[in-house]
């Protein structure tokens, strides 16, 4: 039923028997002596038994018409159990059954590992899209890699980030099924590997439809060279096995050296080749070998540039294996592929050395060369000059530009927020937009309200359902707009504050248990949680905290609200400067948290190993959402939407989806600061950060702590390098490339405003309510329906 979870008939006794039988068969244990992870696996497998028939029927129904395929290097799924029970509408019923078995569902949920299949917003977006597709009964399949290990588990040692193996599969994965019979072979110049698919059900809310996420594991064709083994050459005997498994071993292996770059390229080609072979095989089974019809049944979305090698790979398959000529293959490719651009950062627009492609994908490289020739000819026919053509070539100076290949070969290129798309059209990709204006679209990102409100913030979810007289909002988030009528209702506003405080107490307890740091739930929880990158400006936040600390030292009686600054972020293993920022923040935390003279007025916590399940506790507890990236650098952001949905005002720049958030909820209910895109564009070539460094009160003092001995970077040179990058410029960018110094004072003023306005509790609660009420636009349900209608041309298909 629309608006309600599917109420499945649960046979309590059968469920109990299934759980007990699985424990016996899999672990040789009874309920009494089974460990929590074993109970988790048994319960999860029992739920899989409930959904298998609907899953099979969904796939069968989808196979009869056009489908969409979402190719992504990441799917940051988070834990599955709680979300699946919520979507099936049986959470309370299962909890009741488990209570009768003396099993605590909350403990079972906590034992589940976050699947190590993604890292940042790109991967989490893919996960939200998969869930929304199932909820909206859209025939969408996700394709990616089944990484044996995630990016890494993050620990801090003396304030430094330490990377440990993220063995997310240590207890097994009850939510996936190995499909050995549908394995395919992927060919590289230096050998072949087997791609083995693992299927995970994606359960929609309030529907019987169940979609599929298919992830490939790389395995050797011959696991062991028995002849070498018998000759006692044990390492050589297993060499092929290890080499093959390396491909799907780790998410985003370090690529600072050639070997790492080759492995990354192999990863990308591995999963797209396997996915395309799978699509071709199923097309032949269902529709025969007339490939002129392939585009009638397939829409393939490339989630950023990682899977763009799928374009020449499909050309290769159609030409070399299915006998199409180049132009017919090109017509098919152009019609089936579309591309999502996630960045305007030039350094993040993926490029590959020609040599790398030649060394492992020579035929694919030949096809890219042919596509490049075709494109140059087209540019020439438009009267473009030599320099302009060079700037747009797919292959230029022995580098392959994957973004250029994607834009030229696909029928649609979309940005992920209105500002982002406008910057692409009128600045970064202006030349392309002039030629292909019809191809450029905006699809503002979204989040699934099932996980990011109904599951993770049950108190607020229940209040909304009560106020709106039902839970239709769970599948129609625009219904939240009706909450605005309560904006002056003191009973509702106080209830909202009460729920927020309860969430803060829950987070404080979790942080004390996991980080060993005690924080005050009565303080403002000021939270910045996202990938660690310079443009996201965690450093600006850190400088403000240190400045506030120094002001408190000078004036201990300063009247401010107590505040807890919470960070969560991982730095890529090879990103030296980002690691330096983490160390700097942890040094600030050590200084502030151990200074009793400031009477615990401020505290700093950098949580370890930030991930989806940690986010489920952080987002509902936040009082202020830090979205402070340099204007024009954040494509969209989805963390900003999660905070908004959970009733948290934003302190941020006019960047990414912040622009749309403020438009929906009003600038008076958020805290906007900093230079806008237009201003930065005007000053970027003449910008002198030293002017601000010398003249802005307090700024020089905090910046100089990087080099004056206030903090210790363990003789790594991290802090000096960071200082130099700000004042002189370093490695690949100019001084203060992200305008931290320029925005510092304006940010400080915005933070002062937060402090003042937070004191009026009912007025603050009103801001929170209005943010919730206007979050309806930011549902991934809305986004995915726009993709379905405007890019993929697919319709919802509900199973009987």
Domain holding 665: CATH number?
3.40.50.2000
Q: In this structure, is residue 731 part of a structural domain?
A: no
For residue 103, give the 3-state DSSP assignment.
Answer: coil
Q: What is the pLDDT of residue 344?
A: 80
Answer for the pair 217, 148: CB distance below 8 angstroms, yes or no: yes
**Residue 437 DSSP symbol:** G
Candidates 153, 264, 342, 420; catalytic one: 342
- Whether residues 513 and 613 share a domain: the answer is yes
Answer for the pair 789, 414: CB distance below 8 angstroms, yes or no: no
- Whether residues 265 and 291 share a domain: the answer is yes
Candidates 153, 451, 536, 570; catalytic one: 536
Spatial CB neighbours of 97, under 8 Å, sequence gap ≥ 6: 10, 12, 15, 16
Let me know if 29 is exposed, middle or buried by CB neighbors in 10 A (0-12, 13-18, 19+).
Answer: middle
- Whether residues 492 and 424 share a domain: the answer is no
Kindly compute the dihedral angle of the four CA atoms of residues 279, 280, 281, 285, in this order, to the nearest 10 degrees: 100
798 tagged catalytic: no
**Integer distance in angstroms from the first to the last C-alpha of the chain?**
13
- Whether residues 54 and 72 share a domain: the answer is no
530 tagged catalytic: yes
Q: In this structure, is residue 322 part of a structural domain?
A: yes
- Whether residues 99 and 166 share a domain: the answer is no
Helix ranges (DSSP H) in 555-638: 576-593, 612-621
Domain with 28 in it:
1-62+83-112
Candidates 450, 495, 530, 583; catalytic one: 530
Q: In this structure, is residue 691 part of a structural domain?
A: no
Distance from C-alpha of 314 to C-alpha of 444, rounded to nearest angstrom: 28
Q: What is the pLDDT of residue 348?
A: 66
Q: What is the pLDDT of residue 229?
A: 78
Q: In this structure, is residue 240 part of a structural domain?
A: yes
- Whether residues 307 and 208 share a domain: the answer is yes
Residue keyed to tokens 């107490």: 505
Answer for the pair 275, 303: CB distance below 8 angstroms, yes or no: no
Q: What is the pLDDT of residue 3?
A: 41
Q: In this structure, is residue 656 part of a structural domain?
A: yes
17 tagged catalytic: no
Candidates 153, 451, 531, 579; catalytic one: 531
30 tagged catalytic: no
> How many domains does the chain divide into?
3
Q: Which two tokens stand for residue 636?
A: 């969209």
Q: Which two tokens stand for residue 336?
A: 């089936």
Distance from C-alpha of 473 to C-alpha of 3, rounded to nearest angstrom: 7
- Whether residues 621 and 765 share a domain: the answer is yes
Q: What is the pLDDT of residue 10?
A: 87
- Enumerate the β-bridge partners of residue 218: 195
Cβ neighbours of 11 (radius 10 Å)? 12
- Whether residues 554 and 438 share a domain: the answer is no
Q: In this structure, is residue 690 part of a structural domain?
A: no
Q: In this structure, is residue 583 part of a structural domain?
A: yes
- Whether residues 55 and 71 share a domain: the answer is no
342 tagged catalytic: yes
638 tagged catalytic: yes
Spatial CB neighbours of 357, under 8 Å, sequence gap ≥ 6: 265, 364, 365, 368, 400
- Whether residues 275 and 417 share a domain: the answer is yes
Answer for the pair 650, 670: CB distance below 8 angstroms, yes or no: yes
Let me know if 313 is exposed, middle or buried by CB neighbors in 10 A (0-12, 13-18, 19+).
Answer: buried
- Whether residues 6 and 142 share a domain: the answer is no
Q: List phi, psi (to 5°) of 468.
A: -90, -5
Q: What is the pLDDT of residue 7?
A: 53
Answer for the pair 430, 424: CB distance below 8 angstroms, yes or no: no
Candidates 410, 638, 650, 705; catalytic one: 638
Residue 358 parent element (H or E): helix 354-360
Q: In this structure, is residue 698 part of a structural domain?
A: no
- Whether residues 206 and 332 share a domain: the answer is yes
Q: Residues 181-201, buried b or exposed e (16+ Cβ, 10 A)?
A: ebbbebebeeeebbbbbbbbb
Residues of the chain with pLDDT below 50 are 1-3, 5
Q: List phi, psi (to 5°) of 161.
A: -70, 130
Q: What is the pLDDT of residue 165?
A: 95
Candidates 79, 570, 601, 642; catalytic one: 642
């Amino acid at each position: 039923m629309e608006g309600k979870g599917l109420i499945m008939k649960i046979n309590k006794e059968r469920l109990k028997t299934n759980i007990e039988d699985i424990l016996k068969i899999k672990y040789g244990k009874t309920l009494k002596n089974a460990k929590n992870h074993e109970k988790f696996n048994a319960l999860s497998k029992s739920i899989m038994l409930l959904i298998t028939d609907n899953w099979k029927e969904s796939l069968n129904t989808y196979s009869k018409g056009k489908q969409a395929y979402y190719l992504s290097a990441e799917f940051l799924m988070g834990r599955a159990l709680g979300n699946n029970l919520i979507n099936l509408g049986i959470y309370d019923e299962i909890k009741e059954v488990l209570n009768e078995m003396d099993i605590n569902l909350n403990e079972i949920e906590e034992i589940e590992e976050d699947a190590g299949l993604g890292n940042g917003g790109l991967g989490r977006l893919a996960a939200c899209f998969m869930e929304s597709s199932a909820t909206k009964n859209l025939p969408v399949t996700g394709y990616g890699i089944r990484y044996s290990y995630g990016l890494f588990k993050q620990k801090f040692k003396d304030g430094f980030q330490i990377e440990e193996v993220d063995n997310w599969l240590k207890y097994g994965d009850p939510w996936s099924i190995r499909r050995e019979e549908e394995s395919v072979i992927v060919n590289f110049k230096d050998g072949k590997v087997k791609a083995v698919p693992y299927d995970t059900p994606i359960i929609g809310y309030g529907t019987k439809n169940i979609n599929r996420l298919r992830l490939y594991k790389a395995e050797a064709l011959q696991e062991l060279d028995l002849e070498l083994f018998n000759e006692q050459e044990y390492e050589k005997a297993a060499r092929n096995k290890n080499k093959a498994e390396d491909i799907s071993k780790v998410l985003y292996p370090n690529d600072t050296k050639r070997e790492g770059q080759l492995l990354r390229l192999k990863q990308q080609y591995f999963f797209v080749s396997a996915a395309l072979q799978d699509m071709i095989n199923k097309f032949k089974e269902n529709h025969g070998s007339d490939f002129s019809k392939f585009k009638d049944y397939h829409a393939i979305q490339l989630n950023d540039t990682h899977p763009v090698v799928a374009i020449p790979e499909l050309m290769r398959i159609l030409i070399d294996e299915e006998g199409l000529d180049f132009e017919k293959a090109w017509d098919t490719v152009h019609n089936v592929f579309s591309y999502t651009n996630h960045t305007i950062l030039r350094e993040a627009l993926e490029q590959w050395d020609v040599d790398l492609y030649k060394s492992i994908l020579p035929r694919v490289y030949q096809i890219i060369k042919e596509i490049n020739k075709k494109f140059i000819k087209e540019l020439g026919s438009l009267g473009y000059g030599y320099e302009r053509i060079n700037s747009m070539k797919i292959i230029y100076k022995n580098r392959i530009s994957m973004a250029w290949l994607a834009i030229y070969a696909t029928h649609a290129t979309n940005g992920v927020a209105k500002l982002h798309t406008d910057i692409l059209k009128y600045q970064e990709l202006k030349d392309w937009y002039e030629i292909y204006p019809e191809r450029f679209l905006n699809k503002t990102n979204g989040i699934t309200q099932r996980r990011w409100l109904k599951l993770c913030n049950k108190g607020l979810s229940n209040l909304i359902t009560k106020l709106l007289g039902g839970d239709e909002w769970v599948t129609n988030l625009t219904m939240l707009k009706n909450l605005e009528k309560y904006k002056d209702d003191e009973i509702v506003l106080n209830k909202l504050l009460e729920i927020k405080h309860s969430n803060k107490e829950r987070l404080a307890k979790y942080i004390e248990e996991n980080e060993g740091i005690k924080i005050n739930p009565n303080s403002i929880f000021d939270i910045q949680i996202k990938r660690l990158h310079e443009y996201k400006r965690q450093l600006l936040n850190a400088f403000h905290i240190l400045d506030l600390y120094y002001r408190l030292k000078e004036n201990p009686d300063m009247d401010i609200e107590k505040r807890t600054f919470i960070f969560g972020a991982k730095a890529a293993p090879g990103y030296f400067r980002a690691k330096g920022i983490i160390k700097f923040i942890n040094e600030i935390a050590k200084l502030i948290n151990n200074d009793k003279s400031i009477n615990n007025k401020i505290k700093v916590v950098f949580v370890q190993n930030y991930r989806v399940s940690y986010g489920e506790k952080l987002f509902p507890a936040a009082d202020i959402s830090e979205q402070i990236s340099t204007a024009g650098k954040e494509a969209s952001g989805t963390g900003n939407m999660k905070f908004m949905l959970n009733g948290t005002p934003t302190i941020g720049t006019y960047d990414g989806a912040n622009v749309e958030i403020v438009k929906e909820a009003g600038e008076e209910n958020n805290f906007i600061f900093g230079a806008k895109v237009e201003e930065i564009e005007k000053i970027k070539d003449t910008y002198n950060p030293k002017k601000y460094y010398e003249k802005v009160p307090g700024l020089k003092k905090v910046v100089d702590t990087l080099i004056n001995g206030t903090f210790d970077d363990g003789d790594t040179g991290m802090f000096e390098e960071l200082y130099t990058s700000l004042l002189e410029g370093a490695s690949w960018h100019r001084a203060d490339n992200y305008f931290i110094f320029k925005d510092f004072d304006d940010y400080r003023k915005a933070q002062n405003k937060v402090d003042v306005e937070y004191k009026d509790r009912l007025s603050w609660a009103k801001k929170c309510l209005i943010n919730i009420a206007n979050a309806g636009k930011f549902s991934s349900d809305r986004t995915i329906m726009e993709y379905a209608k405007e890019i993929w041309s697919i319709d919802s298909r509900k199973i009987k």
